[in-house]
Amino acid sequence: MFYWIAALLIGALALMQLCVGAWVWLGAILLWIAGGFWLAGIGALAAILLLLLLVVPALIVALKPLRYRLLSGPILQMFQRILPRMSQTERDAIEAGTTWWDAELFSGKPAWDKLLQLAPPKLTAEEQDFLDHEVEQLCGLVTDWESTEIWQDLSPQAWQFVKDKGFLGMIIPKQYGGKEFSAYMHSQVIMKLSSHCSAAAISVMVPNSLGPAELLLHYGTEVQKDYFLPRLAAGEEIPCFALTSPYAGSDAAAIPDVGVVCMGQYDGQDMLGFRLTWDKRYITLGPVATVLGLAFRVQDPDRLLSAGDSQAETDLGITCALIPTNHPGVVTGRRHWPLNAVFQNGPTSGQDVFIPLDWVIGGREQIGKGWRMLMECLAAGRAISLPSSTVGFSKLAVRGTSAYAAMRHQFRIPIGKFEGIHEMLARMGGNLYLMDAVRRLSALAVDAGEKPSVISAISKYHVTERGRILVNAGMDVLGGKGICMGPNNFLARSYQQMPIAITVEGANILTRCLIIFGQGAIRCHPYVLKEMAAAGEADQQKALADFDEAFFGHISFVFANFSRTLVAGLSGGSFPAAPSAAPAELRHFYRAVNRMSAAFALLSDQSMFVFGGSLKFRERISGRLGDILSQLYLISSVLKRYEDDGRPQEDLPYVHWAIQDALHQAQEAYLGVLDNFPNRLLAVLLRVITFPFGRPYHKPSDALDSAVAKAMQTNGASRDRLVSDIHMPSAEQSPQAFGELAFQLIPQVNAIEARLKPALKAGTLAPMPQSLIALHGWATAAAASGAITQEEMQVLQDFARYGDISVQVDDFPQDFNRLESVQARSQHQP
């Protein structure tokens, strides 16, 4: 009897995972009942009861006519009644873009080979040359301090260089005079510029993100492309795009700006167009733009576009147009001042401004389709812009802070050896490794032709949030040096301006609570969107057939993930197996992602079942569900990066820290959902199924923190990879260079000190002083006594000089003004 019951449980779990059809289930049930009757001796009455309880339902499911009549039909009718009404803007947002690896993570059984077989992102020879020359030259023309304190913008020379060298046309095809660079190259450029000057990065980033070049490329008419794209590529036009209104920020679909269809006059001719009224703010490049991309809602009260059809709609929806900023009635407002960042940003407005119909991007056919256009273009831009800029200044923060911690002595030892500093450095190094991995993988998706709406939201939210953690940790390490503004401070601007990255391109609270899971649950789920489409189908026969297929596929999907989650939980995560291509040292992480993927898919289905349409209003629940999906994507990015880098063993501390941290966060988000589940019985059941032996995933240990901190302070290939591809200023350009110069000498300084240890211990040589100024004189005296060579003296004196400059902070006269900030730079030159 025991074996017969065990066969039932094992067989059912196996069939669930295989997602077999109803006829296979029916055959297996009959075989099991027969085995019980003939081998286990269950008796005829028990066999008959089992036939009634199991075979009859299985037969109903297996026979389509019965299933349609008794199951699918009634369920479809109920589904149509309870399905919440979806607005057109919600539908556009959900349907915009494409799914990619996010759908695999939602499947409960990610196909790792698809991810691992993708070629690593790579630059062409032309792209690398541009990065090594033009981008470096631009960095040589600007600094954060000068752009902020002197120019309050890029200098005129830098602006002209940006225009002349094609920075504004990086994504524009060569046939229009652009560079036609890849998304990965776009990301590399923004990252490098952000590591040196935020104003330069943002001024280049915006024209290559939303637009309007991106909109023109995908939706513009040939006439619009032929006119605008060459001018944008050559820098003859400076673009901006105006979406946000004072009363429609995160809810951008509710913009109050209106264009009323009417007859008007333009260029001496009567024509059909719009009488536009708008009031926009936070528009990057708005104060200097020559062409304004504008999103507004079209109203056609006289039905002029429908030839007077009385049945036609009068509210036609959001539309995008291009308007020259010198067009009569266009008002370019005064500048905003976002947290002392000096990229050009400000309001624009207009009152009853007439524009021709053919200024709509894409022409008449695209009227009312602007929201869909924006959602698809934002999907690509959001995956590149903010993640790249955040990684750029985060690499600067890690490079400068790790060098400072290794060089700065207190209590006669480098502060980077204190465990409290280890904790901060580990947050910085582990998070940066992960952030850069996400940046690279998301750019790879865009280059593969995807418009990854969910992935772009994950990238924007989690890279900027971890960037905030990283910068705050860096400020804790730097202490007094970090809080004094000046050209010597490499962290202050990032610390000051971090909330900008958190806020723009979809505020992070909105992105987490509404977008990631709100879109992901429908777009990435293999059946929900199909069920919704079937419920809205006008042809009832087709609706029933489509719904039946989707609904029973969904049921099979739930059972499969229940089985995978239970097996993984009971096996302690040993099943399912890791992909054969996975390195042995990381296979347990692949298994962990598989386990959490199945558990997440199961929890998502149960949450949608329990909350129904109200789930979109339960933002903390949907936010936690989004966190699980996000952390699985972050881990996937780390695993992919490790493969792409050739599995360097010295990078394993970063890999382990990043994945352990993300797994722990995914686990806590999962349990956070269950803790707030209204159905307590189901919550307890899901907890037992998923984590039968308690919490399996823990935060990185103290020992791992120390391993990461040590790797960050060790000069070599691993640290170089961590902070690669950023601008390294010369000593002539920035005093920030001296920290890295001192750091590079630390191995030689340590070798000299190790050689002198016997003399220091015997007292025949005075100990090396902690003060770097005193070290300079000590080295002179030690060389004179013959204790060290002239070459060693030079190393110590260079280290003392570079280190002294790097630990200093800037000071200014009482009557300080911006002009004197240039002179202040010279105070700390060697």
Residues involved in catalysis: 505
Contacts of residue 370, defined as CB under 8 A and 6 or more positions apart, other chains included, come to 295, 317, 318, 319, 320, 361
Handedness of CA 659, 665, 671, 677 (dihedral sign): negative
Q: How many CA atoms lie within 13 A of 661 on its CB side?
A: 24
Within a 10 A sphere around the Cβ of 479, how many other Cβ atoms?
12
Q: How far apart are CA 631 and CA 663, in angstroms?
A: 7
Whole-angstrom Cα Rg for the chain: 31
Q: Nearest Cα to 140, choosing from 824, 733, 724? A: 733
Q: How far apart are CA 728 and CA 722, in angstroms?
A: 14
Question: Which tokens belong to 700?
Answer: 């990185």
Q: How far apart are CA 636 and CA 113, in angstroms?
A: 12
> Collapsing DSSP states into helix, strand and coil, what is residue 410?
strand
| Range 129-132, long-range pairs (CB < 8 A, 24+ positions) | 130/179, 130/181, 130/185, 130/189, 131/185, 131/188, 131/189, 131/192, 131/725
Helix 587-611 / helix 619-644 crossing angle, nearest 10 deg? 160
Cα angle value 405/407/409 (rounded, 5°): 85
Q: Are 346 and 335 in contact (CB under 8 A)?
A: yes
Task: Give the residue carrying structure tokens 């269809």.
Answer: 261
In single-letter form, the type of residue at position 627 comes to D
Q: How far apart are CA 493 and CA 777, in angstroms?
A: 35
Contacts of residue 336, defined as CB under 8 A and 6 or more positions apart, other chains included, come to 281, 282, 345, 346, 347
The answer to whether the peptide bond before residue 324 is cis (omega within 30 degrees of 0) is no
Partnered with residue 296 across adjacent β-strands are 319
Task: Give the residue carrying structure tokens 């510029």.
Answer: 193
Q: Nearest Cα to 517, choosing from 424, 586, 448, 611? A: 611
Q: How far apart are CA 159 and CA 288, in angstroms?
A: 11
Question: Which tokens belong to 132?
Answer: 């090594």
Instruction: Return the H-helix or E-strand segment holding 730.
Output: none
Query: What beta strand segments (E) does 215-344 contain?
Result: 239-242, 258-266, 269-284, 291-299, 315-324, 331-332
Instruction: Return the H-helix or E-strand segment holding 830.
Output: none
Q: Nearest Cα to 314, choosing from 298, 326, 329, 338? A: 298
In single-letter form, the type of residue at position 430 comes to G
Q: How far apart are CA 470 and CA 462, in angstroms?
A: 12
Q: How far apart are CA 122 and CA 166, in angstroms?
A: 21
Q: How far apart are CA 206 and CA 85, in angstroms?
A: 35
Instruction: Return the H-helix or E-strand segment holding 345.
Output: strand 345-356
Q: How far apart are CA 555 and CA 416, in angstroms?
A: 55
The answer to whether the peptide bond before residue 769 is cis (omega within 30 degrees of 0) is no
Cα angle value 332/333/339 (rounded, 5°): 125
Task: Give the residue carrying structure tokens 């709509």.
Answer: 360
